[in-house]
């Protein structure tokens, strides 16, 4: 056995090394020191990240923002707190990378050299970041406005075209919602559970009184406390449902109405952006609980003028914004706006355009000469419409009946918007070459911005519950997007010194 294991040394080993590799002398590979070896390395935190790294630019840009409103909320005394600007840097830089979790940002300081550099190796607890993020809501609008001004001073924002659009973002809530009947059933079930627990508690109390005498035994059972908490949530959801007038409500986030999202119907919020066409800088942002965009154009335009003091030269938006209020606002402010128009439904029956209007008699005349008279005002999608109706005598034996009304309809009716003149004017304006070009630029401007927010910044579902919490997250994403734009300009050769001088002068 020993002879089998013993191998005689190869005298020509140096001449014929393994794998045919000739060793030229010395060590072939770098020797890696043991991880237990002590180190006395001299280093600077400044050297953690290279010059030109995005984190340096974000740090420089946030330094130029004014956080005095948040700083005023910390009068001092007791243990010193982290400065609001210091905490904001951690959150904003995290959001630029799509890292929104306070816990993950706190963990990154341990192993990500960029976060180590940004925090100067100071440990930041996730509870501190989470608490500050909720406080950040108070100063959010002003900080966002300052990022818009950074884009202006960098020469990025032109306002030649500002595109407006909205998107639905899922709330921090479960998909399941409850209607009125389900809520009442859940409340009855919880009431029965509480009553059963109370009866059981009375029985146990009687047994304990007999066994313990005067000793305490009156603590609230955990099961009863849990049932009462659930009952309070159900009652809150019931109140919200009654006030909102909706058909369903979420127990997890009652403030979030059911929205039509890209992932189906679920509780969510409506995010609104106004984006500069030349630079992609966001010049207006908001988050609402509205289920459509019909009332959202005016707040966006007002916010842009509040931030910049100017109206955009061209303002395109999609068809979802068209309403009586929006069209009236466009006319009042004399905006060069273009709204997308929905194509007419494919049908063989006569449309509204086939009916002539007699303004003196306020009547419509059908293609065969019958008269439709005004009947009443009807509300549709919160807009008033005038209802015109033909007589059953005219429609009963009309030779064009099959092309005009359905078999179940006795007469032909027309619903004419009270703002129909504005509708027709916008339809004609949007169909021009300038209108088609503006609407095409809208799709190339604001929709990619929403795509970046969802795909890169990861905002497909909010982490914070309630409208206020969701607004804070959406605003932080808008701030992060603008700082990403200005940072890209700086990294591409923009003059940071001139930007600082312009900011100081402003």
CA distances 281 to 87, 88, 163, 317, 478, Å, are 24, 20, 11, 17, 9
Q: What is the dihedral of CA 109, 110, 111, 112, to 10 degrees?
A: 10
Percent of the chain with pLDDT over 90: 48
Domain 162-172+257-341+431-462 is in which class?
alpha beta
Question: Residue 216: what pLDDT?
Answer: 47
Would you say the C-alpha torsion 11, 12, 14, 18 has a positive or negative sign? Answer: negative
**Choice among 97-106, 304-313, 418-427, 451-460 with the minimum mean pLDDT:** 418-427
Question: Residue 11: what pLDDT?
Answer: 47
CA distance between the termini of the chain: 90
pLDDT band at 190 (very low <50, low <70, confident <90, very high): very low
Residues found in the chain = 506
Residue with tokens 């550099």: 117
pLDDT band at 183 (very low <50, low <70, confident <90, very high): very low
User: For the residues of 277-301, what is the DSSP string, one character each?
Assistant: TTT--EEEEEEE--SSSTT-HHHHH
Residue 322 structure tokens: 């068209």
Question: Residue 6: what pLDDT?
Answer: 53
Count CB atoms within 10 A of the CB of residue 213: 7
pTM of the predicted model, to two decimals?
0.79
Question: Residue 249: what pLDDT?
Answer: 57
Q: Is the pLDDT of residue 345 over 70?
A: no
Could you report the per-residue pLDDT of 201-242, keeping only the tens digit for each?
555 555 555 554 444 444 545 554 554 555 555 555 445 544
pLDDT band at 349 (very low <50, low <70, confident <90, very high): confident
User: Taking the domains of the chain in order of start, what are their residue ranges?
Assistant: 45-154+494-505, 162-172+257-341+431-462, 180-244, 352-427
User: For the residues of 474-504, what is the DSSP string, one character each?
Assistant: HHHHHHHHHHHHHHHHHHTT--HHHHHHHHH
What's the whole-number average pLDDT of the chain? 82
């Amino acid at each position: 056995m020993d002879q089998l294991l013993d191998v005689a040394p190869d005298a020509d080993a140096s001449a014929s090394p393994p794998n045919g590799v000739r060793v030229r002398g010395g060590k072939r590979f770098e020797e890696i020191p043991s991880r237990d070896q002590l180190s006395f390395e001299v280093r600077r935190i400044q050297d953690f990240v290279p010059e030109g790294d995005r984190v340096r630019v974000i740090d420089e840009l946030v330094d130029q923002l004014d956080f005095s409103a948040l700083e005023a909320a910390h009068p001092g005394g007791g243990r010193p707190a982290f400065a609001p600007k210091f905490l904001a840097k951690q959150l904003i830089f995290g959001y630029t990378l799509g890292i929104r979790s306070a816990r993950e940002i706190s963990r990154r300081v341990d192993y990500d050299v960029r976060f180590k550099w940004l925090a100067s190796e100071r440990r930041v607890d996730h509870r501190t970041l989470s608490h500050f993020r909720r406080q950040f809501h108070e100063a959010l609008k002003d900080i966002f406005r300052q990022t818009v001004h950074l884009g202006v001073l960098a020469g990025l924002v032109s306002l030649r075209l500002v595109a407006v659009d909205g998107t639905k973002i899922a709330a921090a809530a479960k998909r399941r919602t409850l209607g009125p009947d389900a809520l009442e059933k859940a409340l009855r079930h919880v009431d029965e559970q509480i009553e059963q627990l109370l009866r059981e508690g009375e029985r146990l109390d009687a047994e304990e009184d007999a066994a313990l005498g005067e000793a305490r035994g009156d603590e609230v059972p955990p099961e009863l406390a849990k049932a009462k908490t659930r009952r309070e949530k159900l009652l809150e959801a019931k109140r919200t449902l009654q006030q909102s007038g909706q058909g369903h409500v979420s127990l997890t986030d009652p403030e979030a109405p059911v929205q039509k999202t890209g992932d189906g119907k679920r509780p969510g919020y409506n995010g609104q952006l106004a984006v500069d066409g030349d630079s992609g800088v966001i010049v207006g942002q908001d988050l609402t609980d509205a289920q459509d965009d019909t009332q959202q154009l005016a707040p966006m335009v007002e916010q842009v003028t509040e931030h910049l003091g100017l109206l955009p030269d061209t303002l395109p938006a999609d068809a979802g914004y068209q309403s009586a209020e929006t069209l009236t606002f466009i006319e009042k402010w004399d905006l060069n706006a273009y709204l997308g128009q929905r194509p007419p439904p494919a049908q063989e029956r006569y449309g509204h355009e086939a009916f002539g209007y007699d303004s003196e008699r306020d009547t419509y005349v059908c293609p065969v000469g019958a008269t439709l008279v005004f009947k009443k005002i009807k509300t549709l999608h919160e807009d008033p419409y005038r209802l015109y109706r033909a007589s059953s005598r005219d429609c009963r034996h009309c030779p064009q009946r099959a092309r005009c009304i359905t078999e179940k309809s006795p007469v032909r009716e027309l619903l004419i918007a009270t703002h129909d003149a504005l509708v027709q004017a916008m339809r004609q304006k949007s169909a021009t070459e300038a209108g088609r070009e503006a609407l095409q630029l809208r799709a190339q401007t604001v929709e990619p911005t929403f795509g970046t927010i969802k795909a890169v910044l990861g905002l497909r579902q909010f982490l914070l519950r309630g409208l206020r919490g969701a607004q804070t997250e959406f605003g932080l994403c808008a701030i992060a997007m603008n700082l990403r734009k200005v940072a890209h300009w700086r990294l591409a050769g923009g003059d940071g010194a001139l930007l600082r001088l312009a900011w100081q002068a402003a």
